[in-house]
């Protein structure tokens, strides 16, 4: 099993040498990947917290600042619609999280507890819908919303983002409910609890880690979304921050300082999730989130 040309007694590279190479390459990889991941993040923070005067004081971007300032954030608040865009983001994201989480909890429960043929087909439909390009779905949704007079509304934004967020949520809840034994429900029924009370008092508390994960992933999809809102919204007063901030790139009074400042603001909520709720996230990753 373990013989080979490279190692072993008389191999091309001795064991000790391989061990050394291994240790060096481990630390080298750790270093290189850390630099690759951290440099853009460092630059974002450092640029955002400097006034234009200090930022360009050396003729190029100052990356080791001597003085920090909130002037970029003040410019954003005073001269752009950042606050309005942020409120739109919160509104649309909240809509998607509520709709997608509710749908997946109800569906996950039904799919695991109801016995019917064709579960395999349903599973494949859910998984396949998760692989379809958002833009392929966005175009017909655009036409359909157009026909129903829903184009350019919060409803259109929430529905179209839910369309891409829900398949994974349903998949995750379906898997989750499989591990919630039905025995608990049956003993509740046996002691005379109604079906609805059983769901509320027994099933939902047991499923809590599952729907927290689902809510986080729906949040991430909605907060991230650019494609769907780009297609279904045209009124700038409804733009979420992702779409709204992309307009800044074309404006003269918005420089790199403001652009990095808005990036910091957009990154705030995901950053908090990564810090405090990462275990729920990791669980979802292992079930295959996009």
Partner 1 sequence: MSTIRERAPLAGHLDSARLFLLAALVPLGLFFTLLWFGPVVYTVVVSFFANPLGEAQFVAVGNYVGILLSETFWLFLQNSVVFAVSTTLLSLVVGLGFALVVDERVAGRDTLRTLMIFPYLLPTVVVVYLWTLLLDQNLGLVNRILAETGLITDPIAFFATVELAMPSIVVASVWKWGSFAFFILLANLQAIPDAYYERAKVHGASPYQQFRDVTFPHLRGAILLILLVRGIWMFNKFDIIWLTTRGGPVNVTTTLPIDIYDRTIRAGAFGEGAALATIMFLLLAVVGVVYFLVLTPEAEVTD
User: Least distance in Å: CB of 65 to partner 1?
Assistant: 15
Residue 244, number of CB atoms within 10 A of its CB: 22
Helices (H), ranges, 152-277: 154-178, 183-190, 195-198, 204-206, 208-224, 227-232, 241-246, 256-276
CB of 71 or CB of 220, closer to partner 1:
220
CB of 200 or CB of 226, closer to partner 1:
226
User: Least distance in Å: CB of 115 to partner 1?
Assistant: 6
CB of 71 or CB of 169, closer to partner 1:
169
CB of 94 or CB of 135, closer to partner 1:
135
CA distance 193 to 198: 6
Alpha-carbon Rg for the chain, nearest whole angstrom, is 25
**Which residues contact residue 226 at a Cβ distance below 8 angstroms, ignoring those fewer than 6 apart?**
242, 243, 246
Token pair recorded at residue 50: 């400097």
CB of 77 or CB of 274, closer to partner 1:
274
User: Least distance in Å: CB of 8 to partner 1?
Assistant: 6
Decide: 232 and 152 in contact? Cβ < 8 Å. yes
User: Least distance in Å: CB of 63 to partner 1?
Assistant: 7
Decide: 237 and 87 in contact? Cβ < 8 Å. no
Phi then psi for residue 88, to 5 deg, are -60, -40
CB of 39 or CB of 74, closer to partner 1:
39
Q: What three-state secondary structure class fits 86? A: helix
User: Least distance in Å: CB of 194 to partner 1?
Assistant: 10
User: Least distance in Å: CB of 265 to partner 1?
Assistant: 10
């Amino acid at each position: 099993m373990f013989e080979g040309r490279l190692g072993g007694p008389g191999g091309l590279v001795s064991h000790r040498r391989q061990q050394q190479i291994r240790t060096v390459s481990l630390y080298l990889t750790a270093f290189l990947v850390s630099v690759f991941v951290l440099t853009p993040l460092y630059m974002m923070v450092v640029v955002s917290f400097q006034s234009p005067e200090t930022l360009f004081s050396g003729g190029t971007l100052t990356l080791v600042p001597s003085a920090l300032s909130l002037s970029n954030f003040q410019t954003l608040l005073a001269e752009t619609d950042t606050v309005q865009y942020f409120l739109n983001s919160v509104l649309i994201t909240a809509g998607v999280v509520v709709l997608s989480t509710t749908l997946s909890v109800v569906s996950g429960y039904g799919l695991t507890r109801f016995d019917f043929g064709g579960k395999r087909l349903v599973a494949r439909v859910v998984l396949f819908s998760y692989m379809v390009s958002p833009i392929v779905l966005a175009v017909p949704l655009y036409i359909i919303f157009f026909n129903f007079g829903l184009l350019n509304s919060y409803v259109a934004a929430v529905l179209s983002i839910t369309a891409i967020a829900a398949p994974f949520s349903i998949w995750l809840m379906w898997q989750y409910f499989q591990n919630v034994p039905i025995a608990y429900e049956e003993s509740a029924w046996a002691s005379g609890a109604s079906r609805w009370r059983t769901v509320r008092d027994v099933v939902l508390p047991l499923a809590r880690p599952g729907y927290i994960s689902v809510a986080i992933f729906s949040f991430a999809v909605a907060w991230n979304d650019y494609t769907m809102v780009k297609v279904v919204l045209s009124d700038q007063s409804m733009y979420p921050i992702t779409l709204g901030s992309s307009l800044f790139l074309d404006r003269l009074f918005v420089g790199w300082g403001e652009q990095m400042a808005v990036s910091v603001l957009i990154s705030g909520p995901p950053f908090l999730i990564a810090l405090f709720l990462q275990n729920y996230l990791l669980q979802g990753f292992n079930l295959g989130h996009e």
